[in-house]
Structure 1
């Protein structure tokens, strides 16, 4: 289960122990940042936040320089707290470059530096404002060696590549609940680093960890037992962490690791008192500051900023979104005209002429049909008039304040269909239904892959409770249901199911997003991940037909191999059949619609193979139906 992150070769030097890194080079994606640093215009800036493993110090920023056209010379500076660390000239032909970070200060296992670019265009030419200086494939080289954890407080490192959670071959409900909560809590804690999370079986009945951890890897054993607490166990220099306790205490002990209280666990063993996990309660009115944006600004000839409307930060599925934009822009002289334009996905939703005062105080409505899990409301000041040969007119500063108000209403059912409705439609709490009698460990492994995937696309953690699948099926709460060997709960109808007798062809999208077809017949074995709205609650079902458990596992492994795949999912289902990559079933069913009914206003996505007459369609199980274009 390996994440598809950009990787640069590591160049560790010799260290005291082969399990500990010595002077590694880590690509920015492993540090939670984008792989490329982009600088627009003649002077651009990027704030780079670097998590620093204990025992190490950043030594250099390694990049591949890609200059825009018509540049005569270019340089970059790196500073920290208004203190210049380095200034380097960029090679005119581009290529690899190591930018020294001498003198950088590390505080609380982190260092923040400001990288600033200076470009000088060829005489007589203008820089293209849409063509940036790109420092590609960026990585940080560190000096020093990874420090071995000696207390519970420093068990989780600032940079984590892989977490292995070990549990018994037949985990109890309490152990399964603790494992899923732990996996999602660690995923939320590390955010954009996207560490790989793996669940494995213990080698024996005793709660003893297996082989030692690799560099930037940690092992955690979860086991029921009479003694509650967290303790370091196993061989040095990278011991494992044992989380134990009776069923009523096990989940509470798990919370200590990623809670704010954990930093005070300054010994090799700690016992957590009562720790409550309280999910965020959604509100009808909030501000973009509360949604993670203290304010946004841009300086350019036609500056543009983006206001992120993240439904996972709002803590629910929403509709009727209105944004009260509060801000300002540089007042324009009378010889220059302009307008302020608000748009979503390239579609203009509001525009108004610039005001002499340069103030912005305007309500903007976001149409429900443009909403996604994360919607960006773009605000731009467009100016016209004589701005000089290369736009030499004084650049305009556009600012949207953090006090900008966002109002919304709860959407039940969600207006965003399918995978784009998750996980916000399941917030603040969801249930995870496992078959605790058949193969609980296998279902637990599947649950961790699904829940960590959902957590990666969520800006906030969400509450989780593991239950037997029968309990989750009959519950009124949102749920993730895992019935790996075949769907055996007909009270919840699935949109994708095998036909009874006649092969059918489904219009789908491949893993590149290109249209293709998938033919299903009664004998085909497939695994699927499907979204369902049943009795007003959102459900995600992981299942197969004909016992095709391997196809379901292939599908989940494919999703887990690249952290970007979950965020890119659209449609109502994902299907895996032998011999090809999983395909996406586009579209969505309206809530409370009978999946087997047909009508002239709703056309099926599927066509029966070999059928020449419409009468032959009677009695077939239609897999997925398309929403009419008028909706």
Structure 2
């Protein structure tokens, strides 16, 4: 009875603390001197961290890095917990280096709110990194299921303090950014358009998985500054072509706005400053940037897992498994013929235990080999082109067989792949895979952006480039130019003509014609088209991928329905995963319907190692010869059987 009362008291305390941390009273504290907002409570996903944490095994570990705005400090991690089945109790400890920040017991039950204190955590470079360790106690007589973890969901961090307004250019962008508003003229020049797309794409790359909203807004007539101050954890930037050169803060109440200004030949370079490595030296209210290069250095045909963002992977379990991420955006191009030289080790197995190493992609085994007593891994693994995606997970697991004792009491095994494992690849022409899954790597490292004209197409191009940048681990360089110049250019291109598409040199997968007729390129059958006539005629907006003469293009257009292009981009922007999961060669949006993807089910290329089916187009004499041979075989078998029966003794 006392145990139940104690648990209830701890649960009530946790719920009360959580309520206090996220209550409107806590959110509405008045800012102090130099502050701009009261302490917020932010979901982990808005901090660039995973929203859900999973702790596997009796002792699980997760590392959590929390960006911290200036003037704030994290005080608690609020989560909803769920204990695994057959677990009697659980405890979570928060560590920072050798210090224990807190220890919390996890109440039993499903979806129980818990607040884990973080007070006292040291802030280094505007971030806090802590290690969470879980300890599980199974119910007596039961074994812990290694596939059923302790789960933390709906994670959010409560902060204390007051956000401090920036006073120098270097501090303008906070560690946590929820929205960036870029103001530009309602009739932007080409230089202003170029700087706007460059800046928005660079900010999207810098903040990565935080995915702040980045919007472009026309500056009201006869105004030289944004109409009002920005909200907490938001920023405003004004881009303007003019004689003055530089990046400077505009003093206002609360957070100052930033102005990026310069003549046409200097404006783009100034827009690179905020996302460059020299920005941290801009310790004044105004800075003028010298020449800056925004094109990333890309790996060649041979690189390593470390250069692809994986310094090494390891796992400790009864049957350990590691995932090796092959990200084509880190290669900066569409690639094929990928080979990975797996180098690493595993715990040598005793003679009583058998084992094998299995490499797989998307559940399909692509290689396997027996484990031996050396414990060394030194194996080339070829990744089939047909299994390649923008992101491909190469899984490697160590399977064992034998008596591992009750509850898997056999000593856990360690599986390690070194970060220096070589990775070979070749440029793919055409891209592998094609369509949207070839974006943005086939547009890298530099994309020309062609605009049909006006502010609205600039806004649409910015939305598209931000969406593509969020798919990429490396920054994408852009160059804005008129639509005709971009079509004639040889570089990969984003082409925006929201009203209609009139350039016959670029054939779209779905081309609208007169009286509701659509000309459609057959999926999986290059060069073949068909027509589809709709009655009544359909107005739609679209994003369509084109690959022509070694060049990838992404086209945003409509058949006189630009509002449907806006609806499509709004739908994609609502969820970052929609950009990532987009497949096929075209996606179209019509009124009152979900967008439709075309070309996602195109036939896969036939595996050259598989036996081919009989050719249905053989001539009659060939089929007659096959039939005659079959009959001859049957008659020969009958004769042999009859002779055998005559020679056998009678009973």
User: Whole-Å Cα distance in 2 between the matches of residues 109 and 560 of structure 1?
Assistant: 28
1:29 to 36, 42, 45: 45
> SS state of the match for residue 390, structure 1?
helix
Residues 417 and 588 in structure 1, CA contact (< 8 A), matched pair in contact too: no
> SS state of the match for residue 34, structure 1?
coil
Q: 1:321 to 1:9 in 2, by over 3 A?
A: farther
> SS state of the match for residue 446, structure 1?
helix
User: Whole-Å Cα distance in 1 between the matches of residues 465 and 489 of structure 2?
Assistant: 19
1:565 to 578, 594, 614: 578
User: Whole-Å Cα distance in 2 between the matches of residues 396 and 448 of structure 1?
Assistant: 49
Residues 545-582 of structure 1 deviation map (CA, whole Å, 9 limit, x = unaligned) = 1x101111110111111111101111111110111121
**TM-score if structure 2 supplies the norm length?**
0.85
Residues 325 and 363 in structure 1, CA contact (< 8 A), matched pair in contact too: yes
Larger radius of gyration: 2
Counterpart of 2:631 in structure 1 is none
Residues 499 and 520 in structure 1, CA contact (< 8 A), matched pair in contact too: no
Residues 326 and 360 in structure 1, CA contact (< 8 A), matched pair in contact too: yes
Q: CA deviation at 1:205?
A: 3.6
Q: 1:129 to 1:499 in 2, by over 3 A?
A: farther
> SS state of the match for residue 295, structure 2?
coil
- 1:89-488 maps to which residues of 2 (within 5 A)? 89-94=105-110, 95-436=112-453, 440-488=454-502
Q: 1:491 to 1:521 in 2, by over 3 A?
A: farther
Residues 328 and 335 in structure 2, CA contact (< 8 A), matched pair in contact too: yes
Residues 73 and 90 in structure 1, CA contact (< 8 A), matched pair in contact too: yes
Say if 2:94 is the partner of 1:81: no
> SS state of the match for residue 192, structure 1?
helix
Q: 1:477 to 1:521 in 2, by over 3 A?
A: farther
Q: What is the Cα-based RMSD across aligned positions, in Å?
A: 2.0
Residues 572 and 588 in structure 1, CA contact (< 8 A), matched pair in contact too: no
Residues 94-120 of structure 1 deviation map (CA, whole Å, 9 limit, x = unaligned) = 400100112200011001000011111
1:554 to 567, 571, 592: 567
Counterpart of 2:558 in structure 1 is 544
User: Whole-Å Cα distance in 2 between the matches of residues 411 and 417 of structure 1?
Assistant: 10
Residues 586 and 599 in structure 2, CA contact (< 8 A), matched pair in contact too: yes
Unpaired stretches in structure 2, ≥5 consecutive residues: 1-21, 523-531, 604-651
User: Whole-Å Cα distance in 2 between the matches of residues 232 and 239 of structure 1?
Assistant: 6
Residues 487-515 of structure 1 deviation map (CA, whole Å, 9 limit, x = unaligned) = 1111111111235557779999xxxxxxx
Counterpart of 1:14 in structure 2 is 29
User: Whole-Å Cα distance in 2 between the matches of residues 234 and 170 of structure 1?
Assistant: 26
User: Whole-Å Cα distance in 1 between the matches of residues 519 and 495 of structure 2?
Assistant: 26
Unpaired stretches in structure 1, ≥5 consecutive residues: 1-7, 509-517, 591-631
Q: CA deviation at 1:291?
A: 0.5
Counterpart of 2:646 in structure 1 is none
> SS state of the match for residue 195, structure 2?
helix
Residues 509 and 521 in structure 2, CA contact (< 8 A), matched pair in contact too: no
1:50 to 66, 74, 80: 66
**TM-score if structure 1 supplies the norm length?**
0.88
Residues 551 and 576 in structure 1, CA contact (< 8 A), matched pair in contact too: yes
Residues 227-261 of structure 1 deviation map (CA, whole Å, 9 limit, x = unaligned) = 10011114121110000001111011111111110
